[in-house]
Structure 1
């Protein structure tokens, strides 16, 4: 198998952030206004306020992406973790998630939170293997999410 390489944020890769995430969200849910804002303008919505986006590449192909949205100086939200259909089942999600957790630590994070849905079995397996624990979901955060998880770094 080809080596999976994790790339740091680069504005030139934003089209992959949008295309990969739009594909999986639309296949299972519908795009919400917050999704559209993040996908259309990740630099302003995610990066400039103190977050980042990482990309996974095999060879010359971008096959996955994950974002970290800064919630506070010590808390980051793991957002928009997506893997291209052509790369599913190759461990890309786990590598992206581990890389995002390390990046959150490097940026001073003490905790990572995420919101997800119970039907995303592959993602849930990754989160549980990494030690995320389910916590109480606040009302009205995201329409499609029925689970909130967190991990102390």
Structure 2
């Protein structure tokens, strides 16, 4: 799946090992800088084709138009009952402030719908105020932990949100 290339980036589904490598590097940078890379982070980041795509999800990669350099990414993890998790969103520090995060969230919402999703949830942290603002602008609302489709969720996620 590919999205409009007239914007500041081209967004498409993960296709190559270089996409998987960029997904790992972009996420490892911010998670390691602000938090601790957890075992589940390593597992998902290390095998996006096996851990995300093979189970019905997707990883969207934002690239510079024409150049192909990955500058951002976001994952959609599939859960039962047409539920998806928006996760592992990252924008390269040098590319921040250009609206790429907003474009990635919009593309992820569209992709989740295309995959049959009826509910999208995410976990974030109060340290990531710009991300929380971005999600709220996209229509996500805060929820309590008991609304999650999983019982064991990231320790760093102190803000939980969903979009129906």
So what's the TM-score if we normalise by structure 2?
Answer: 0.88
CA RMSD of aligned residues (A): 1.5
So what's the TM-score if we normalise by structure 1?
Answer: 0.94
- Indicate the residue corresponding to 1:113 in structure 2: 121
What is the aligned residue count?
A: 152
Q: Deviations over 1:61-108 (max 9, x none)?
A: 210000000012411000100000110100000000000000000010
Is the aligned partner of 1:102 residue 2:110? yes
Q: Deviations over 1:33-71 (max 9, x none)?
A: 000001111111111011000000113221000000001
Could you tell me which runs of 5 or more consecutive residues in structure 1 were left unpaired when the two chains were aligned. none
SS at match of 1:128: helix
Q: Which runs of 4+ in 1 moved over 6 A?
A: none
- Indicate the residue corresponding to 1:141 in structure 2: 153
- Indicate the residue corresponding to 1:11 in structure 2: 16
Correspondence list, 1:1-150, <5 A: 3-12=8-17, 13-59=19-65, 60=67, 61-138=69-146, 140-150=152-162
Is the aligned partner of 1:151 residue 2:156? no
